[in-house]
Structure 1
Amino acid sequence: MNKNNFCIIMAGGIGARFWPLSRQHHPKQFIDILGNGETLIQATFNRFTRICPPENIYIVTNEIYKS
């Protein structure tokens, strides 16, 4: 694995696209839409760990989802 690889995951949104499952307080990136036990953001992160070290993966989202 190349330690110089970096990934930025864009995880914005306001919960409108997958309504009614997705809401502003719980948008699609935090939902297990595929039913595999992982949220969309977890699945994306895990896919990128094959090509980037985890410490080089950054998630960009709205401040209200920081926690």
Structure 2
Amino acid sequence: MDPVVESELRTPDGYWRVQVVRYGPGQRWYRVIHATTQVADRVPLATVQRILGDAMATLEPVQEGELGAG
């Protein structure tokens, strides 16, 4: 099964994006993107928190039509 981006969060400035990605039945992980660089893939929430630090608190949901638009 190909990975499917189920939802996405981003900082107001758009530099950080966090995608919730489904890799198969019951396999949901996070992908972290900074600007145009994928920083981490298939990581747990604790890793996302460590990477983003204070920026984690500023994440906002991305509307379905904007997914992946960065």
Using the size of structure 2 for normalisation, the TM-score is: 0.32
Q: Which structure is higher in strand share? A: 2
The structure with more radius of gyration? 1
Relative contact order, higher structure (CA 8 A, sep 6+)? 1
